Structure 1
């Protein structure tokens, strides 16, 4: 008599590493989806470094937005036609007012363990008080960067457990502290570039002149919200079910038959047009 093996026994017979990797794959996909909800540019096959770079870009952009929002009006900038040499002589990074502005921006950056879940992070990014015509506020960008970095650390833990990369073995607090140091350095560098590179300073001035006068910047496209994604999924399932139903097959069959008849008629007409006429005989 053939022995019947239950599903539970089959699962128990699987190697432990296979089951662990299956669970890790699902957890990894969930973490990447969390990150893509607020940073759509993150690839679906993202590694921890992708999320770290996305967090740093978010904060650099927020610092540049803050410079256009307030820095242009607060700092003693040179003439608008100042070139690279003029900016170097002005030495704005050495001014006390510039140092005060940089410290104000950095004071809004707090990289810490994030309690946000995916829907919380999406709601924070889309909230009316999170951004204006210039962009996200530094405080909101800091919260979203912490959210991304916590997901990056969780991804790194999965890679450490499954042997998918170099083992770092750092705790969350230590990891975030190291990331905070790097983020702050990049923010300082980005703000220094704003007053040393003529094109970047000119762009910030133009944004301040345009948006400070009440003109609205074009809104950046946001990823579809949860309800919209669910609606798209329902439409796709309905289309598949209709295509597989008897009525759907009949409709597609009628369309195919009509297309075949039209193609055949076109082919015959083309043959008649291409058939050379016999010249009249004398």
Structure 2
């Protein structure tokens, strides 16, 4: 007689290592999905290092945005047509006002254990008060980076505590911010980009990198309602793609596309009446 097991009994019969591996894979997929909700550029098979680097990139970009937003006006800069050698001799990083600006940016960075859940982080990123034409504010970027670094700690396999992990990352982030701001005033091309961004925003022009189809957030003729609706639809589509139902739907689409390609993807159309082979002599 074949013994019949219930589903629970079958699970209990599995080796403990297999169960732990399945639980670990499920947890990793959930944590990566949480991180990708904030930064879709994170790979789907990301590890802790990917998420940590995404957090650092987020704050480096926020520092560059802040320099274009306020630094260009606050820091005494040399003439625009100055060359690389003259720019180095000008020694903008040695100016007290540049130091004050850097410290102001660093004071906005506070890497701490994040209380945010996924939907809270997404709402914070997309809130009207979180960004302007330049980009995210340093404070919001710091909160989002803290969220990502907490997710990275869950993915990591180290023995350090969350507080130790965040302290190490915070020290590296502050060094990254100092370095990227110094580059802004030492590399002629980067300084020119910051000046051009500041001038365009002051003139009310839309940044090129935010160009989009009609009705999108970068369309000059789009209304505020169209821009808001575009963002809502994009967020809804992305969040649906992260759910079980969304993954199942996209999986079905992919399977259907593969079958269609197998059937119709050949360059030759099969004949309905293939030629008959001649009889053997």
**What TM-score do you get using the length of structure 2 for normalisation?**
0.77
Alignment match, 1:172: 162
> Which of 190, 193, 198 pairs up with 2:183?
193
Which secondary structure state, in structure 2, belongs to the residue aligned with residue 133 of structure 1? coil
Is 2:201 the partner of 1:211? yes
Larger Rg: 1
Alignment match, 2:220: none
Which secondary structure state, in structure 2, belongs to the residue aligned with residue 129 of structure 1? helix
Q: d(CA) in 2 for partners of 1:47 and 1:263?
A: 47
Equivalence map 1:254-269=2 (5 Å): none
Q: d(CA) in 2 for partners of 1:119 and 1:49?
A: 23
Cα deviation code 1:131-183 (max 9, x no counterpart):
11111110111011001000000001xxx3xxxxxxx2100001100100000
CA RMSD of aligned residues (A): 3.2
Q: Could you tell me how far 1:263 is from its partner in structure 2?
A: 8.6
Q: Could you tell me how far 1:220 is from its partner in structure 2?
A: 7.5
Structure 1 residue runs of 4+, over 4 Å off?
Answer: 220-223, 231-234, 262-265
Q: Could you tell me how far 1:231 is from its partner in structure 2?
A: 9.0
Q: Could you tell me how far 1:226 is from its partner in structure 2?
A: 3.1
Q: d(CA) in 1 for partners of 2:199 and 2:13?
A: 69
Cα deviation code 1:209-231 (max 9, x no counterpart):
11112222253787932366549
Q: In the superposition, relative to structure 1, how do residues 231 and 142 fare at CA in structure 2: closer, same or farther (>3 Å)?
A: closer
**What TM-score do you get using the length of structure 1 for normalisation?**
0.77
Unaligned stretches of 5+ residues in structure 2: 213-230, 273-281
Q: d(CA) in 1 for partners of 2:134 and 2:154?
A: 32
Q: Could you tell me how far 1:237 is from its partner in structure 2?
A: 5.1
Q: In the superposition, relative to structure 1, how do residues 237 and 102 fare at CA in structure 2: closer, same or farther (>3 Å)?
A: closer
Q: d(CA) in 2 for partners of 1:198 and 1:43?
A: 33
| Cα pair 2:63 2:105 within 8 Å, conserved | yes
| Cα pair 2:37 2:239 within 8 Å, conserved | no
Equivalence map 1:1-282=2 (5 Å): 1-156=1-156, 160=157, 168-217=158-207, 218-219=209-210, 224-226=234-236, 229-230=239-240
Which secondary structure state, in structure 2, belongs to the residue aligned with residue 68 of structure 1? helix
Q: In the superposition, relative to structure 1, how do residues 52 and 231 fare at CA in structure 2: closer, same or farther (>3 Å)?
A: closer
Q: How many residues align?
A: 243
Q: Could you tell me how far 1:12 is from its partner in structure 2?
A: 1.3
Q: In the superposition, relative to structure 1, how do residues 228 and 56 fare at CA in structure 2: closer, same or farther (>3 Å)?
A: closer
